[in-house]
Chain A
Amino acid sequence: MNQPASAYFLEERHDPNETHTLSVLVANEPGVLARVIGLFSGRGYNIESLTVSETESQKHVSRITIVTTGTPMVIQQIKHQLDRMIPVYQVVDMTLTGKSIERELAMVKVKGSGDQRIEAMRLAEVFRARVVDATNESFVFEITGGTSKINQFVDLMRPIGLVEVSRTGVAAIGRGPERM
């Protein structure tokens, strides 16, 4: 193998990337989100989406949902690295469990007049998006669904007069009666 002069072994990895959704239960204490984000930036992992909120306030437990990409070895590393953090209770790979529901919410602002408004409303109906604000020249739609559904809706709104989008990122939960 030829490589430039280096004290390190330079090696490209060729394993294909996978996208995984991880649910992480953490103690809701100061700095916990910074720890998680710092882990990803410090070790060069990707964050496609990250959502966090306290879910059990009396136990001070928050749930972080992270969508990440990497080779299978990197995904396994991410899970172990998260799991060994002191305030992390549990890490579940929702993609591996294979029976989780993933949703996000987006608010989509569209500007237009005449036929553009009618087309926007028609598409919104198809996508089951709700109007949460309206003026004579604009709508704000609220839409929930999987990431690809929201992407599709946003793409359709673009030629009509898309102004801006605010998205929550993905929240995930397993199907069935059990907790994670």
Chain B
Amino acid sequence: MSDSKRHAPQQMTGAAMIVRALVDHGVKHIFGYPGGAVLPVYDEIFQQSDIEHILVRHEQGAGHAAEGYARSTGKPGVVLVTSGPGATNMVTPLTDALMDSIPLVCITGQVPTHLIGNDAFQECDTVGITRPCTKHNWLVRNVDDLAKVLHEAFYVATTGRPGPVVVDVPKDVQFATGTYTPPRKSDVHVSYKPQVKGDAGQIRKAVSLLVNAKRPVIYTGGGIINSGRDASKTLRALVEATGFPITSTLMGLGAYPASGKNWLGMLGMHGTYEANMAMHDCDVMLCIGARFDDRITGRTDAFSPGSKKIHIDIDPSSINKNIRVDVPIIGDAGNVMADLLQAFKAEGKAPKIDPWWFEIGRWRARNSLAYKKNNDVILPQFAIQRLFEATRGRDTYITTEVGQHQMWAAQFFGFEEPHRLMTSGGLGTMGYGLPAALGAQVAHRDSLVIDIAGDASVQMTMQEMSTAVQHELPIKIFILNNQYMGMVRQWQQLLHGNRLSHSYSEALPDFVKLADAFGCVGIQTTKPSDLDGAIKEMISVKKPVLFDCRVAALENCFPMIPSGKAHNEMLLPAEANDDATAAAFAGGKALV
């Protein structure tokens, strides 16, 4: 097709428009599951070769796979599902993507327009159900509106604070013929104008705080990763120029390298002692692309009481939501950081903060991530450290499920680059990691993609191993198997008098046999001395792997800010008296 022809309006069916719009937006892969109300689109997919379709086993898997794809590439993830149950199964990934600001474009089939509202077969109010869990959604009743809506959908999903969108397309609209126009600027709501550039006056105020800081800290989040790779480079330059210590939320890991000398580790409920103490005692806090959520702040009325707070965020509703800040700057993290860095350098002096670093050094010396070595059973922290060592220097993407293993992954796996960690931070969706690994592997066929999983979480979306086999996606599912819902149990131990109500899995599948049944490779290891060899085998296998890593059953995740406590009231592992906890169960349900 000649270029001019490509940009001219064309007549085609709604179904053809959908595929054409995807191509025009540079989409190479979509994740989906067919059904009655999307068959016309699937018929178009069958007759083309520009887009590869990944057939999942459950629509939730498609959603999380698209999230993993989006998070690991910076491009929008695209999902195609049918009406009714197809759409309702997408509710969890849509909500997950909304919470973590992941750009998703989800196209749902709908019953024909004349049947809408009739309780037709596989009908549900998709736009009604997904309204609170999308950035925006549309029901397209007229085929001539379809192209414009699709273009707008991509624009809304990927600009400003990214997020999921749904385009609901009734089956008769897919069959109808109308005019397709390629993407243009005018496709977008005039009411939607995200602010990218920060206010110069506010940036000046921020710089004057930064240059006079005695105890500064930089606190970063997923917004930097969403802003693009340049934002991480700018952040590194900013840290270099200022010499400030830096911590990050779970969602922001990798923007600044874990091996960087100014790195304090993750902050928050299971963050490091030094990161949380620095947050509590700082005099100037520079928050970039993070949102002061409740896992980060601890008790809000005792949160960093003595600091002036600068908050850079693209979403004005993130400002002053939980914590009052002194200098809000609305804008894109990368863009504002670049201006901030320039203004900071123009001041010509970085503040002397040696005493502050000395104090941080004392907190670091508490070694808050320490755990007791064990030669008999594999400790989960040790397993992740060994996994990290084995993958050093490799092109690796990590996903996680949700729970203790997720926090240990954040603590013990060093992320050096952005877009390398895919995890469900806001919604905390167990079952996220396995399909997210699929998505990341689709985007990076030759990379090593590992889901650091728990035995409970991984069973929630286990069916997607079948997708991995079908599409030859050699994902590695590294299960830290303690036979418990570990984080649930940890809370029950700490808060509910050790009454372990339904947090123990009485009947786990044999993961090695299960791997065999799926047609992938199963590996089990129980001894610390076998671990390195088993990990090496997992990495070298060119097929999907279920790795059943049997770990100490009762290990808990520390350090920790207990509920109702502030950053400077952390419970450190040495004080948590793990042995006492374990003793209560000795000989009973101790499983290792």
Which of B190, B321, B563 touches A7 (beta carbons < 8 Å)? Answer: B563
Q: Cβ of B7: which chain A residues have Cβ within 8 Å of it?
A: none
Q: Cβ of B563: which chain A residues have Cβ within 8 Å of it?
A: 3, 5-10
Closest chain-A Cβ to B190's Cβ sits at a distance in Å of 7
Q: Cβ of B324: which chain A residues have Cβ within 8 Å of it?
A: 73
Q: Cβ of B564: which chain A residues have Cβ within 8 Å of it?
A: 1-3, 6, 9-10
**A35 interface residue (CB < 8 Å to B):** yes
The B-contacting residues of A in range 97-124, CB under 8 angstroms, are: none
Is the beta-carbon distance between B189 and A38 smaller than 8 angstroms? no
Knowing A38-B132, A83-B316, the reply to whether A9 touches B139 (Cβ < 8 A) is no
The B-contacting residues of A in range 67-100, CB under 8 angstroms, are: 73, 76-77, 80-81, 83-89
Q: In the complex, A40 Cα to B437 Cα: how many Å?
A: 36
Q: In the complex, A8 Cα to B300 Cα: how many Å?
A: 11
Q: Cβ of A26: which chain B residues have Cβ within 8 Å of it?
A: 191
**B263 interface residue (CB < 8 Å to A):** no
Q: In the complex, A108 Cα to B166 Cα: how many Å?
A: 45
Knowing A8-B563, A9-B564, the reply to whether A89 touches B190 (Cβ < 8 A) is yes
**A16 interface residue (CB < 8 Å to B):** no
Which of A5, A9, A80, A81 touches B294 (beta carbons < 8 Å)? Answer: A9
Q: In the complex, A89 Cα to B192 Cα: how many Å?
A: 8
Residue of B nearest to A87 (CB): B191
Closest chain-B Cβ to A22's Cβ sits at a distance in Å of 14
Q: Cβ of B131: which chain A residues have Cβ within 8 Å of it?
A: 31, 34-35, 38
Q: In the complex, A58 Cα to B189 Cα: how many Å?
A: 16
Which of A8, A11, A80 touches B319 (beta carbons < 8 Å)? Answer: A80
Q: In the complex, A6 Cα to B192 Cα: how many Å?
A: 39
Closest chain-B Cβ to A62's Cβ sits at a distance in Å of 12
Q: What count of chain A residues pass the 8 Å CB interface test?
A: 30
**B229 interface residue (CB < 8 Å to A):** no
Q: What per-residue 1/0 map shows which CB atoms of B292-305 lie under 8 Å from chain A?
A: 00100111110000
Q: Cβ of B301: which chain A residues have Cβ within 8 Å of it?
A: 11
Q: In the complex, A42 Cα to B299 Cα: how many Å?
A: 24
Is the beta-carbon distance between A86 and B156 smaller than 8 angstroms? yes
Residue of B nearest to A1 (CB): B564
Is the beta-carbon distance between B315 and A84 smaller than 8 angstroms? yes
**B136 interface residue (CB < 8 Å to A):** yes
Q: What per-residue 1/0 map shows which CB atoms of B130-163 lie under 8 Å from chain A?
A: 0110011001000000000000000010000100
Q: Cβ of A30: which chain B residues have Cβ within 8 Å of it?
A: 139
Q: What per-residue 1/0 map shows which CB atoms of B97-137 lie under 8 Å from chain A?
A: 00000000000000000000000000000011001100110
Closest chain-B Cβ to A141's Cβ sits at a distance in Å of 39
**A131 interface residue (CB < 8 Å to B):** no
Q: Cβ of A80: which chain B residues have Cβ within 8 Å of it?
A: 315-317, 319
Q: In the complex, A34 Cα to B316 Cα: how many Å?
A: 22
**A27 interface residue (CB < 8 Å to B):** yes
Q: Cβ of A85: which chain B residues have Cβ within 8 Å of it?
A: 136
Q: What per-residue 1/0 map shows which CB atoms of A52-67 lie under 8 Å from chain B?
A: 0000000000000000
Is the beta-carbon distance between B294 and A27 smaller than 8 angstroms? no
Which of B128, B136, B189, B495 touches A34 (beta carbons < 8 Å)? Answer: B128
Which of B300, B317, B320 touches A84 (beta carbons < 8 Å)? Answer: B317
Residue of B nearest to A30 (CB): B139
Knowing A1-B299, A9-B563, the reply to whether A88 touches B191 (Cβ < 8 A) is yes
Q: Cβ of B136: which chain A residues have Cβ within 8 Å of it?
A: 85-87
Is the beta-carbon distance between A89 and B317 smaller than 8 angstroms? no
**B491 interface residue (CB < 8 Å to A):** yes
**B366 interface residue (CB < 8 Å to A):** no
**B362 interface residue (CB < 8 Å to A):** no
Is the beta-carbon distance between B495 and A27 smaller than 8 angstroms? no
Is the beta-carbon distance between A7 and B491 smaller than 8 angstroms? yes
Q: Cβ of B192: which chain A residues have Cβ within 8 Å of it?
A: 86
Is the beta-carbon distance between A11 and B317 smaller than 8 angstroms? no
Closest chain-B Cβ to A73's Cβ sits at a distance in Å of 6
Q: Cβ of A86: which chain B residues have Cβ within 8 Å of it?
A: 135-136, 156, 189, 191-192
Q: Cβ of A87: which chain B residues have Cβ within 8 Å of it?
A: 136, 189, 191
**B471 interface residue (CB < 8 Å to A):** no
**B496 interface residue (CB < 8 Å to A):** yes
| Residue in B189, B300, B319 whose Cβ sees the most chain A Cβ within 10 Å | B189
Q: In the complex, A84 Cα to B159 Cα: how many Å?
A: 12
Q: In the complex, A35 Cα to B127 Cα: how many Å?
A: 10
Q: In the complex, A4 Cα to B535 Cα: how many Å?
A: 43
Is the beta-carbon distance between B496 and A5 smaller than 8 angstroms? yes
Q: Cβ of A10: which chain B residues have Cβ within 8 Å of it?
A: 563-564
Q: Cβ of B190: which chain A residues have Cβ within 8 Å of it?
A: 89
Q: What per-residue 1/0 map shows which CB atoms of A132-161 lie under 8 Å from chain B?
A: 000000000000000000000000000000
Q: In the complex, A11 Cα to B323 Cα: how many Å?
A: 13
Which of B127, B189, B319 touches A31 (beta carbons < 8 Å)? Answer: B127
Is the beta-carbon distance between B320 and A73 smaller than 8 angstroms? yes
Closest chain-B Cβ to A74's Cβ sits at a distance in Å of 10
Closest chain-B Cβ to A135's Cβ sits at a distance in Å of 40
Q: Cβ of A8: which chain B residues have Cβ within 8 Å of it?
A: 294, 563
| Residue in B189, B191, B192, B294 whose Cβ sees the most chain A Cβ within 10 Å | B191
Chain B residues within 8 Å of A, Cβ to Cβ: 127-128, 131-132, 135-136, 139, 156, 161, 189-192, 294, 297-301, 315-317, 319-321, 324, 491, 495-496, 563-564
**Which 7 pairs across A and B sit closest by C-beta, in order of nearness?**
A5-B495, A80-B317, A86-B136, A89-B191, A3-B564, A80-B316, A1-B564
Q: List 13 A-B contacts (CB under 8 A).
A: A3-B563, A8-B294, A11-B300, A11-B301, A31-B128, A73-B320, A80-B316, A81-B317, A84-B315, A86-B135, A86-B189, A87-B191, A88-B191
